[in-house]
């Protein structure tokens, strides 16, 4: 069900563009929908404008150096998307088939990157479904593939933090890292929203970063930049990834203004994430106080809720006149995503409208009454 919700997001953003030409709309479908501010445009205007394919742009260098330092690594590479930085990082770590990557069955790399590992790296995946909220070292060890001639041996362990907005504890990551080191395996992190984990826990980005050989960090989600993601690793890995980026057609020329926008948002938006997380928890607590069920714990900026006895489409229709967008669906479960451009007043309105709907009861549709459904597995990076 929620897979269908996420697949509908482009239609919703089109609708958002129609609305925002007239009035302010508060869009809770994703944290990718943040709109560039005048301050971001000012930063872009001040940026250098050299050619990044020739590796000569000062603003790109400044961003890459800054993020590499934040993660405790030697180098970084600015790219167009987190899918690209995930695929480049994995391709740089993988050498010669047969090989495989062990990862969480819910992960973005496994479910939402068009089978990129098979296409770019000729790698298979070992998708493990955790018995708890996150993968453990024991679960990883139980699913490692050795060098039996019939199999594609595990060469990389790929983790995701945050995943569905939940934070993977650093101790759990370190235990998996110790296991990987003992087996001679590499570690990759899909850290599209690692910023949120770091801001919420107070754990420096570098403490997470040192557990991995490559890290993908998105700047176009809750960070608020208009486009971009960075791959972080050693100088040798990043040089290889730069060559692979060109191979994939990902070399961009005057990327300085985009890098400057990302740098501005890292400095000015990332520090506001704890406020966004507090607002998300207030929303989660408010929905629970109305008798609704949270499908996942709210650790950061995402609220996964089962609205039964309401349908999501009922709430979406009721919120639209208030200029609040959520993903419409015919089921009862949805994901509400907060970001720095969502104010307290929007959460207040959402809770008030939900309470009113619950008092009125669900609308009858085709003689069916809404029912609870099991939470499907899916990645959190959309």
Mean pLDDT calculated for residue range 61-76: 98
| Number of separate domains in the chain | 2
Same domain, 235 and 295: no
Residue 124 lies in a domain: yes
More confident residue, 177 or 12: 177
Domain boundary among 247, 269, 291: 269
Residue 356 vs residues 242, 314, 370: alpha-carbon distances, Å: 54, 11, 18
| CA–CA dist 73, 69 (Å, integer) | 6
Mean pLDDT of the chain: 91
C-alpha torsion sign, points 154, 172, 160, 255: negative
| CA–CA dist 217, 195 (Å, integer) | 8
Q: What confidence tier does 106 reach under pLDDT thresholds 50, 70, 90? A: very high
Q: What is the CB-side half-sphere exposure of residue 28 using CA atoms within 13 A? A: 31
Q: Which domain holds residue 144?
A: 38-269
305-339 pLDDT, tens digit per residue, is 999 999 999 999 999 999 999 998 779 999 999 99
Pairing mode, if any, of strands 293-294 and 302-306?
A: antiparallel
pTM score: 0.90
β-sheet with 333-337: strand ranges across: 293-294, 302-306, 333-337
CA neighbor of 375 nearest in space, from 313, 310, 286, 296: 296
Beta-bridge partners for 66 = none
pLDDT value of residue 10: 37
**Chain Cα centroid distance, residue 82:** 8
Q: Give me the count of residues in the chain.
A: 382
| Phi then psi dihedrals of residue 78, to 5 deg | -85, 125
pLDDT value of residue 369: 46
DSSP string, 74-87: SEEEEES-HHHHHH
pLDDT value of residue 364: 58
Longest dimension (CA), the chain: 64
Residue 376 lies in a domain: no
Same domain, 64 and 91: yes
Same domain, 257 and 277: no
Residue 204 lies in a domain: yes
Residue 308 lies in a domain: yes
pLDDT tops 50 at residue 17: no
Mean pLDDT calculated for residue range 354-374: 67
**Chain Cα centroid distance, residue 286:** 24
Domain boundary among 269, 291, 309: 269
229-260 pLDDT, tens digit per residue, is 999 999 999 999 999 999 999 999 999 999 99
| CA–CA dist 68, 88 (Å, integer) | 16
Q: Is the peptide bond before 27 cis (omega within 30 degrees of 0)?
A: no
pLDDT value of residue 329: 77
SS3 of 233, please? strand
pLDDT value of residue 13: 36
Domain boundary among 199, 234, 269: 269
Same domain, 98 and 198: yes
| CA–CA dist 229, 221 (Å, integer) | 10
Same domain, 259 and 281: no
Same domain, 325 and 238: no
| CA–CA dist 277, 159 (Å, integer) | 22
Same domain, 75 and 186: yes
Same domain, 287 and 210: no
Residue 241 lies in a domain: yes
| Phi then psi dihedrals of residue 79, to 5 deg | -135, 180
Q: What confidence tier does 7 reach under pLDDT thresholds 50, 70, 90? A: very low
Q: 93-97, 134-138, 329-333: which has the minimum mean pLDDT?
A: 329-333
Residue 99 lies in a domain: yes
pLDDT value of residue 365: 59
Q: What confidence tier does 132 reach under pLDDT thresholds 50, 70, 90? A: very high
Residue 367 lies in a domain: no
Mean pLDDT calculated for residue range 38-48: 98
Task: Give me 190's structure tokens.
Answer: 């899909």
Neighbours of 272 (CB within 10 A): 14
Same domain, 179 and 299: no
Q: What is the CA radius of gyration of the chain?
A: 21
Same domain, 297 and 242: no
Residue 315 lies in a domain: yes
H or E element that contains 11: helix 9-20
Inter-residue contact 342 to 330 (CB < 8 Å): no
> Residue 325 belongs to a domain with what CATH number?
3.90.1150.10
Same domain, 350 and 203: no
Same domain, 250 and 304: no
Beta-bridge partners for 163 = 166
| CA–CA dist 58, 63 (Å, integer) | 9
C-alpha torsion sign, points 152, 156, 162, 166: positive
> Residue 240 belongs to a domain with what CATH number?
3.40.640.10
């Amino acid at each position: 069900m929620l897979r269908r919700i996420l697949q509908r997001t482009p239609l919703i953003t089109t609708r958002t563009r129609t609305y925002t030409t007239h009035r302010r709309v508060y869009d809770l479908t994703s944290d990718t929908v943040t709109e560039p501010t005048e301050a971001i445009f000012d930063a872009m205007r001040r940026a250098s404008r050299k050619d990044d394919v020739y590796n000569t742009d000062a603003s790109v260098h400044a961003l890459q150096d800054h993020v590499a330092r934040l993660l405790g690594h030697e180098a970084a590479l600015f790219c167009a998307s987190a899918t690209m930085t995930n695929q480049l990082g994995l391709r740089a770590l993988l050498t010669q088939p047969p090989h495989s990557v062990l990862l969480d069955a819910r992960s973005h790399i496994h479910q939402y990157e068009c089978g990129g590992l098979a296409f770019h790296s000729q790698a298979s995946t070992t998708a493990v479904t955790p018995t708890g909220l996150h993968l453990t070292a024991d679960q990883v060890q139980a699913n490692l593939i050795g060098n039996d001639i019939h199999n594609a041996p595990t060469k990389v362990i790929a983790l995701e933090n945050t995943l569905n907005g939940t934070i993977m504890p650093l101790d759990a990551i370190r235990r998996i890292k110790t296991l990987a080191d003992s087996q001679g395996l590499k570690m990759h992190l899909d850290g599209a929203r690692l910023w949120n984990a770091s801001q919420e826990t107070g754990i420096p980005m570098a403490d997470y970063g040192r557990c991995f050989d490559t890290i993908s960090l998105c700047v176009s989600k809750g960070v608020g930049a208009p486009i971009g993601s960075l791959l972080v690793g050693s100088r040798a890995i990043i040089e290889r990834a730069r060559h692979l980026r060109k191979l994939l057609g990902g070399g961009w020329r005057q990327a300085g203004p985009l890098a400057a926008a990302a740098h501005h948002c890292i400095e000015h938006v990332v520090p506001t994430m704890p406020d966004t997380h507090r607002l998300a928890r207030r929303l989660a607590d408010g929905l629970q106080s109305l008798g609704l069920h949270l499908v996942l714990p709210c650790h950061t900026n995402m609220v996964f809720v089962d609205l039964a006895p309401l349908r999501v489409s009922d709430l979406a229709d009721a919120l639209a006149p208030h200029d609040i967008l959520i993903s419409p669906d015919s089921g009862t479960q949805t994901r509400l995503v907060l970001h720095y451009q969502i104010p307290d007043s929007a959460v207040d309105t959402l809770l008030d409208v939900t309470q009113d709907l619950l008092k009125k009861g669900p609308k009858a549709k085709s003689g069916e009454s809404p029912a609870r459904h099991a939470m499907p597995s899916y990645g959190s990076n959309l």
